[in-house]
Amino acid sequence: MKFSCALETSSERIRLVNVISPLIKAGYQLVSQKQEPSENGGNIIYVVARSQGSKTQADLVDDLSSIAGCTLFNLEISEDEETVAPNKKALDEKAILAAIGAQYPNIVDVVKQYEESLASDKRAAALHELGRKVGGGIYQRDYALGSPLKKSAAISRELVPALKDFSKVKAGENVITLIRCPFCGPSDTNHSGCHFVVGYIEGFLTANPAVGRASVEETSCGSGSTNICEFSIR
C-alpha cells in the first residue's frame, strides 16, 4: 500500500525529522519527503511512503494521527504492487542525517532505507559519504573533549566502544571485525551496506586531530552468509 500525505505542525520547531522518525520506527518505507512553512507559523510536511507487512488503512491513519504536534489534513492511498519503484527518488541526505541524529544508535533501518532509495550505481559512494559524516559527528559529540588519543589507543578505547552500539566487535592491530554486521545484506548481490561502516570508521578517526586522515578498506565481507566483516585501517 502506497500513500501520500500532508501534515501541518503546530510549531515551526516541529520539523521533517519529527515526522519521518516515527514513520520509520513504525515500519514504513519512505519514498520522498518535503517541508515548507505554513501560513499558521508551523510547517507543512509532505510524505510519500509505502506500508510494509500487514498494515491496514486504519493502521495507517492511526499511525499518522498519532505523530505528536501534527495534524493530518490530506491522505491519498493507492495499492502499490511494485516492491521498488523503477524511477524512485533518492531520499534526501540531510533528512536522513537528521533521522539518524534523532534515533542514534538505532539507525540500521534508516541506513537501509536510504540505501534502497538510491540507484545501484550510486549506493557505494553515497553510503560511504553518509558514514563519514555520521562517524565524524559521533567522534565530535562523544570523544572530542578530552586529549586526542594516538591511532592505536583511539581504535581500542574510542572506535571499538562506538561500534559496539551496532554489533559485537573484535579489534586487532589496525583491524576491526564486526560480528553479525547489521549493515550487511541477505545476499552479496549489489550489496553496499558495509560502505557505510567504511565511511563511519574513516570519519570517526579522521575527526581525531591526533590521527589525521585515515583510510579504511573492507578486506572480508560476510554478506549473505556469516555477516562477519573485517575492515583494515591504514
Same domain membership, residue 77 and residue 19: yes
Mean pLDDT of the chain: 90
Same domain membership, residue 227 and residue 129: yes
Same domain membership, residue 131 and residue 55: no
| Buried/exposed 40-61: b ≥16 CB within 10 Å, e otherwise | eebbbbbbbbbbeeebeeeebe
What domain range includes position 19? Answer: 1-119
- Domain with residue 103: its CATH number is 3.30.70
Find the DSSP H helices in 104-231.
108-117, 123-142, 151-154, 160-163, 194-206
Give dist(CA 33, CA 217) in Å, integer: 33
- C-alpha dist (Å) from residue 190 to 9, 146, 177, 187: 39, 40, 21, 8
Same domain membership, residue 80 and residue 176: no
Of 98, 119, 140, the position where a domain reaches its end is: 119
Per-residue pLDDT of the chain (234 residues; tens, 9 = 90+): 899 999 999 999 999 999 999 999 898 999 899 999 999 899 999 999 998 878 888 899 999 999 999 999 899 998 654 444 445 577 889 989 999 998 999 999 999 989 988 988 899 999 999 999 999 999 999 999 989 999 999 999 999 999 999 999 999 989 999 999 999 877 665 678 899 999 999 999 999 999 989 999 999 998 888 889 999 999
Same domain membership, residue 136 and residue 100: no
- C-alpha dist (Å) from residue 13 to 67, 70, 186: 14, 11, 39
- Domain with residue 131: its CATH number is 3.30.1380.20
In this structure, is the dihedral angle defined by the CA atoms of residues 108, 113, 119 and 120, taken in order, positive or negative?
Answer: positive
Same domain membership, residue 183 and residue 109: no
Same domain membership, residue 126 and residue 109: no
Tell me which DSSP letter residue 150 carries.
P
Same domain membership, residue 133 and residue 93: no
Return the pLDDT at 225: 86
Residue closest to 161 by CA, chosen among 151, 146, 171: 171
In the chain, what percentage of residues exceed pLDDT 70? 94
Of 72, 90, 119, the position where a domain reaches its end is: 119
Burial of 230 (0-12, 13-18, 19+ CB in 10 A): middle
Give dist(CA 110, CA 24) in Å, integer: 7
Same domain membership, residue 107 and residue 154: no
| Residue listed under C-alpha cell 559529540 | 141
Same domain membership, residue 91 and residue 2: yes
Contact call for residues 138 and 210 (beta carbons, < 8 A): no
Return the pLDDT at 46: 95
Of 119, 144, 176, the position where a domain reaches its end is: 119
Same domain membership, residue 199 and residue 209: yes
pLDDT digits (tens, 9 = 90+) for 36-69: 999 989 999 999 999 887 888 889 999 999 999 9
State how many domains the chain has.
2
Same domain membership, residue 56 and residue 45: yes
